[in-house]
């Protein structure tokens, strides 16, 4: 994995679960807080086709991207494995 980005909001409990899961796996990530950066909402939609959080964007070594919408544990596990 090259880079992991989580799109969150201040009150999103599922976002906290994504962070907790990645912390447990020792995966480093960047956080984009949409309450603080609402202009990034269009970016979220462009990457995921969704208007929801959490969105986890995983950029791979081969420059491909994987997007996980929501706290989807099996999918998140396979994407960051």
Partner 1 sequence: MSANEKVWDVVMIGGGPTSLAAAIYTSREDISTLIVEKGIIGGLAAVTDKVDNYPGFPDGIEGLHLAENLQKQAERFGTTIELDEITTIKKVDKYFELQGAMGSYKSKTILIGTGSQWKKLGVPGEEEFYGRGVHNCATCDGAFYRDKKLVTVGSGNSCAQETLFLTKFASHIDVLIRGDHWKASDVLIKEIESNPKITVHFNTKTDEIIGGEVDGIQKVTKIKATKDGEPFEFDTDGIFVFIGLVPITGYLEGSGVECDEAGFVKTDLKLLTNVPGIFCAGDVRSGATAQIASAVGEGASAALSIREYLESNK
Cis (ω within 30 of 0) for the bond into 67?
no
Of these, 4, 6, 15, 80, which contacts partner 1 (CB under 8 A)? 15
Task: Using alpha carbons, list the distances in angstroms from residue 55 to 31, 60, 76.
Answer: 10, 16, 10
Yes or no: say if 55 and 47 are a contact pair by the CB < 8 Å rule: yes
Of these, 2, 14, 23, 65, which contacts partner 1 (CB under 8 A)? 14
Interface residues for partner 1 in 36-55 (CB under 8 A)?
A: 38, 41-42, 45, 49-54
Residues that bind partner 1 (CB under 8 A): 9-17, 20-21, 24, 34-35, 38, 41-42, 45, 49-54, 69-71, 73-74, 77
């Amino acid at each position: 994995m090259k880079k992991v980005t989580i799109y969150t909001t201040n009150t999103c409990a599922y976002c906290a679960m994504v962070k907790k899961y990645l912390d447990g796996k020792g995966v480093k990530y960047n956080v984009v807080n949409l309450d603080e950066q609402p202009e990034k909402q269009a970016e979220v939609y462009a990457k995921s086709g969704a208007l929801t959080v959490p969105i986890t964007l995983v950029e791979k070594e081969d420059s491909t991207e994987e997007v996980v919408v929501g706290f989807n544990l099996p999918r998140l596990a396979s994407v960051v494995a």
